[in-house]
Every structure is written in C-alpha cells, then in structure tokens.
Structure 1
Amino acid sequence: MNFNRRHFLGAAFAGAAGLASPRAFAAVKNDTMPDLLPRALAALNQHHNSILRRDIVGVVDFSHHSREQRFQIVDIGNGRVVASYLVAHGKGSDPANSGWATRFSNRPGSNASSEGSFRTGETYYGKHGKSRRLIGLDPQNNLALQRAIVIHGADYVDPSLVAMQGRIGRSQGCFALERRLVNEVMDRLGNGALLFAAS
C-alpha cells in the first residue's frame, strides 16, 4: 500500500509539472505530504494557462485546526515539502473562535476564508506591512482581489498563542502568517504560483 501511494504521488507530480524523477519520490515519506496534494496538482493542470510557476505550490488544508502547521510549500521538481507554517483563517469561517474553519465564503464583508485555487500576485506595502496579492481562479474565490484577500504577517499568528490558548487568532479572510516568516513564504512562492486551499 505504501509503495502504491508513493507511486501515485510520483506519477501525479510528474504529470503536473513534467519535472519530477521517480528517484526523487522514492525518498519522500508519505506522512510529510499534504492530503490535498492530488487536488492541488489537478488544480495546477486545470489553471495551467494562468499559473506562471509550475515548480512550486502552496497548499493550505483548512480541515486541520489552527494550532497546526497547515500551510505547506511543496517543491514539485524534487517531490518534497519545503516548509510548513501556521496560517490563520477568517473570523467569518470560525464565528465561535474554536480554531476550526467551518464556513467559507466569497462574499465581500463576510470576513471568511475562501477555498479554491489562487494565483499569487505582486507584493505591496499596506497596513500589515509587506503583503502579496492573491487572484482567485475559481467561482468560489474569484472575488479575492476585490475583497483584498492577501498573504500578510500578523501578531495573532504565533506559536506562543498556541501554547497559551490552544489556537492562533483569526483574520478577515486573509492568509495571515507569523510576521517573522511571512517574507520567507512570499519569497518562496513568488509571483505567479498556485496557492490551493480547501478543507
């Protein structure tokens, strides 16, 4: 079973990017790969005309609690998870502030996270400092640019909060990360990469 899953992931990577070698996947541990990876790779193919970078993808699994590192960056060429990060979901997705995202919306003013495929855009400096714009590519997130759903740093995303209260804070729908790590994430994804989020 492990061999078959590893074989499947290798084939999926190779089909999505045309870069991976079977030898690279043989060294990948199954438990390091995001559960959403097959769906992210399918999205990479679906939106191939919109995605400029096909060597790396960001995957956010909103089915996990906010205390977990549920934002993963996957190097398609090497078949490896490069890094994992804490990431906030929107207040509208978690009205009870439980740490679980249970609702998703594309509606302006909902303060909720959206699921689906996003293309990373350019960086800019706003109220949260350096941030990266996101362009929604699916019907369930195509208002992301209008809603100002972006990647940015926030004080309410920090491991110390997990230790104190068992969860991180909530955003207004943005992908908020630790301030000390957000530049690293934005640089790794760059402009024109796929960010895939689902639950």
Structure 2
Amino acid sequence: MNNLDSVLTRRTMLRSAVVMASGAAVSACVSRVDTALAPSIVPPVYAPPIPKAPVLARASRTPGGIRPELFKKAIAALDRHSMRVTSHDRIAIADFSMASAKPRFYLVHLGRGEVETFLVSHGIGSDPEHTGLLHRFSNEVNSEATCEGAFLTGDYYVGKHGDSQRLLGLDPTNNNALDRAIVIHSAWYANSDMIAKHGKLGRSQGCFAVGEYELAKVFERLGPGRMIYSAKA
C-alpha cells in the first residue's frame, strides 16, 4: 500500500469515527430528553369512602302493645347511635315500667311493624325486696342492678350461664355494661312457670335473662349489631 492509499484510508476511518461518535452523542441526548420529558407516573391515592348513615327502616305507627312515648324514645336512641348500630331492621325494647310477670321485652321488626314479646328478668339491685317491679337503675360495678339506655348486641360466647351474648352500653347510663358483664342469657328463674308458682320472675345480676326455651328465638331475632333499648319512663 502506497502513502496516498494510507492517507485516504486513515481519513475514511476518521470520518466513520466522527459519524459514530456524533450518532452516539445524539442518541444520548435524545435519551436524556425523552427521560426529562416523559410524564412522571404518580400512583393513585386511595381515598376511603365517606361512611354514610344507614337508611333507617320505620314502622308507620307505634307497634301494638308498646307505649308510644317509649317507642319514640327508642327510635330517637337508634337515630342517635345510627353510625354504631349496623342493622336497623329490628330492635328490642325492654319496658321496665311493667312487672316481671308481664312479657315486657319487645322484639320489633321496624319495616313491618311486627312485634314479638318475651318475659325478661331485672336485676337484684333494682328490686332488693323482690317485689317483681324494678325500682331503680344503676350503672355501677357490683350493683347487680339493671341499667337503662341503648345497648349494642355483640358476639356470642358460652359462659357461666351457658349460651350468652355480649352487650355494649352506648349511653353514659350504661357504659359499664361490658365491664359488668351485662349480657343476654337464659335462666330457669325467667321461665314462664315461675309466674304460676310465685307470681313473678326471679332476679338476675343485672343481665337480660330470658326463659330457657326462648333464648334461641331471641338470639335468632336479634343477632349481632342491633340495638336494645332499656327504660322505665
């Protein structure tokens, strides 16, 4: 190879190197520009839905057998605690203005206005002389008295009284219910034959004690997440 050919060859190689270098530079610039201009991907932010108050079912009128003023107070309590009471189709109302010999525990289907009644005992501390009438409410621990206000039905368990259901007190007048173990359970002293023998039911330690043959039906009608309203006035 002569000197001229060597010079031409070197020039050709230099041109090729310049072109390749320019291409690489352009590619690098394009890559940087693309990266700079590419829209940043922002992950969607999860916004939890705003809880809505449940739609309340209502009986068109006071269900038969329940005092209208008591039913009105129970419905007001349901409205007041609507965000904590998850099921509004049924409620229970305990009318402790009545003697224990009367079926004073009402299970009400609000949509249809249907009512079932049951016997229910009150606490020893509410009726120390065992007259069959509730004389006072108490929220105090160890009072063995019935307490008033709205309760939320909870889970089922097996305790010293057998099958039972926990209750959460929703008002200042019964907010010790869970600590006091105020629950729904059955008891022999709440059976209907007690009335024939003694003219009244026996007393609980503040719990809503119903007849041994009625507990399954009460559990079925109530279930967790419903309200019980206990009052006298």
If the TM-score is normalised by the length of the shorter chain, which range does it land in? Answer: 0.7 to 0.9
Match of 1:37 among 71, 74, 98: 71
Match of 1:19 among 57, 66, 78: 57
8 Å CA contact 2:126–2:144 kept in 1: the answer is yes
Residue type matched to 2:135 in 1?
T
Matched with 2:21 is: none
Matched with 2:46 is: none
Residue type matched to 2:180 in 1?
R
Q: Calculate the aligned-residue CA RMSD, in Å.
A: 1.6
TM-score w.r.t. length of structure 2:
0.73
8 Å CA contact 2:57–2:88 kept in 1: the answer is no
Once residues 164 and 60 of structure 1 are traced to their aligned partners in structure 2, the CA distance between those partners, rounded to angstroms, is 23
Matched with 1:97 is: 130
Mark the CA change 1:147 to 1:59 in structure 2 (over 3 Å): closer, same or farther. Answer: same
Residue type matched to 2:167 in 1?
L
Once residues 48 and 42 of structure 1 are traced to their aligned partners in structure 2, the CA distance between those partners, rounded to angstroms, is 10
User: Secondary structure, in 3 states, of the residue corresponding to 2:75?
Assistant: helix
Match of 2:185 among 141, 145, 152: 152
Matches within 5 A, 1:174-189: 174-189=207-222
Number of residue-to-residue matches in the alignment: 178
For residues 50-76 of structure 1, the C-alpha deviation after alignment (integer angstroms, 9 at most, x for no partner) is 101100000000000000000000001
Which one scores higher on RCO, CA 8 angstroms, separation ≥ 6? 1
Shift of 1:34: 4.2
Matched with 2:91 is: 57
Q: Percent identity?
A: 43
Which protein has the larger Cα radius of gyration, Structure 1 or Structure 2? 2
For residues 112-156 of structure 1, the C-alpha deviation after alignment (integer angstroms, 9 at most, x for no partner) is 000000000000001111100000000010000000000000000
Q: Which has more strand, going by share of residues? A: 1
